[in-house]
A and B are shown apart, each in its own frame.
Chain A
Amino acid sequence: MLPYFTGDFLADVRSIATREHQARYSQEEPWVLSLPSVASGIRESQIEVIELPELVCEPGARTESDAANAITLYERLQMLSPVQASDERLWSCLAHTTYWRYARARWQGGSAESFDSVERRWFFKGSSMERLARNGIARLWWGAYATVLPDEADRYRLTRVLFSNTDIQFHYMERLFGKNRTVLHSALDYTERNLPRIIRRKPVGAWANETGKLINQVGGVLQLDALNASEVGEILENYLQRLYRQHSVHS
């Protein structure tokens, strides 16, 4: 069964983390398990899981395994509904217990000098959708959820594109258009298919930044949610062609 913190226990954990984050988040072992109230503070959710998968994070290659981890986690937890997966009690519990070592390795537990970074990765910070994209474990599930292609042979083709670069995650997933499957999928698909052409003109991070802004600007005038995939692709193709034209003028 999938574990989760009770609301009261989560408040206690957050309170301790606020005061003692430097000491607590540099520990090798999950510190919440040594709290006296842990027995009543962690419940079984009754969401049946055969076994939670191992998440891997190699030292010196912290981002490289994001896509594989996202796919593994989502495959095992795809029965979660969006409401269940929006629950801080669940993800904070997993980050502090089952995935404590992963979370510390991935987010460098030692960088717990500010509570801000601890709060973002081990809890939910703020009330908007960004909190889901930043919690160390929730981001993996939501990244796969937002990009999975249920009817394709390679269901996670776009998940791998999303997690291939932190700028793509940030500029595509954390902007409001990231909520729209058609737009998000089309932008990732276009980036994947045209990567050789893109990187001849821009690093892929800069491409994600600029096209993210571009799509936002377009959404200021057009009803973005009404666009189909080929219309989104056309916007990006026009932009890429403009980059090529600029280059030929300057050279």
Chain B
Amino acid sequence: MEIKTRSFPYPVLGPNLDDFTDGFVRLAGASGEVAPERYSIRFTFELSHPSIANLVNAGDASPAVVVECRQNFYRRRHKVDLGLNEMVIAADELHGLVQVTPLVSAARDLAPYRPDSLNPDYDGVQICVPRHGILAYGPNFEFIAEPKSDRLRKISSIMRVIQAAESGKGMTVNIGGPRIHIEVSPDQFRLYRSIAASRQGPAILSAMLVLPALVDVFHRVKGIDPEELEDFRWFQVVRARLREVSQPVDAPGFDPMKAAQALLDSPFARGITELVERLDLEGGN
């Protein structure tokens, strides 16, 4: 987020502004780390200005960061606390240059507004700041959001859910072809199709369908000579992705459950979060 310094009709604490003689806002020790399915942004929100900090403590001002992706339409304000913060954003949301802008804005009309360390030019001037007026901001923290894998070729690319001929409520996993096939009954398949096309579907299906299928596949792979699987496309992709998440399939201590979770990036956590959000939206508890 770019803040134009000439816009403010009242004193603002910010870099390269001389409205104040002392104080700053900044994100200290900021980092943006990518896991396969999410970005973790960590920082310490530092506000070095006693009277603005007092406004925050009294609930009259709100510290926040605006996270903006310059190359797509992602822009969100996240309320934060003074001090250490961590936020998690899905890897599917961010692409390219991401700017994290720290700021403090008025939570109500502030009139009169008379903070410490004002430039003497403001002596005797009546100052009012409207609700949501920016009181202070700091330099951007920037990072490049670069997904670890090609997002057009997801893990689901080597796995397909197909309709079995028979009815029933179970599922079977077939690894004898170029793709892993998860076979479900016609009724279940119809239900699957109705949720798979939604944006919320993948996180939930990842936990309830893909995770157990992958665990099953990895248990079977453990007992097979890798050379026997070399010709299967799904095995080539899975082996490469497992190396990326430091769970090589040929390592002596290969743990199917751990490997599947690493590959799917905490599928239970993502699935349960998605479900809770959906239930909340629909008026659940």
Contact = CB atoms under 8 A, between A and B. Distances in A.
Contact of B93 (A83, A127, A176, A227): A83
B73 A146 contact: yes
Interface in A71-89: 78-79, 81-87, 89
Interface residues of A, number: 41
Contacts of B76: 225
B8 A90 contact: no
A223 B197 contact: no
Interface of B: 4, 7-9, 62, 64, 66, 68, 70-77, 90-96, 103, 105, 130, 132-134, 147, 151-154, 156-158, 160, 196-199, 201-202, 281
Interface of A: 2, 4, 43, 45-48, 78-79, 81-87, 89-90, 127-129, 131-132, 142, 145-146, 151, 176, 178-180, 217, 220-227, 231
Nearest to A1: B157
Given A46-B153, A180-B75, A225-B66, A83 B92 contact: yes
Contact of A221 (B9, B71, B77, B154): B9
Nearest to A220: B7
Contacts, number: 116
A178 to B, nearest CB: 7
A84 B92 contact: yes
Contacts of A180: 75
For the complex of A and B, list the 5 residue pairs with the smallest distance between their C-beta atoms, beginning with the closest: A46-B157, A220-B7, A81-B92, A225-B77, A179-B75
B7 A87 contact: no
Given A45-B157, A87-B151, A225-B66, 19 more contacts: A79-B202, A86-B71, A86-B95, A87-B152, A90-B152, A127-B96, A129-B72, A131-B71, A179-B68, A221-B7, A221-B130, A222-B130, A222-B132, A223-B133, A223-B134, A224-B132, A226-B62, A226-B77, A227-B132
Contact of B152 (A84, A151, A179): A84
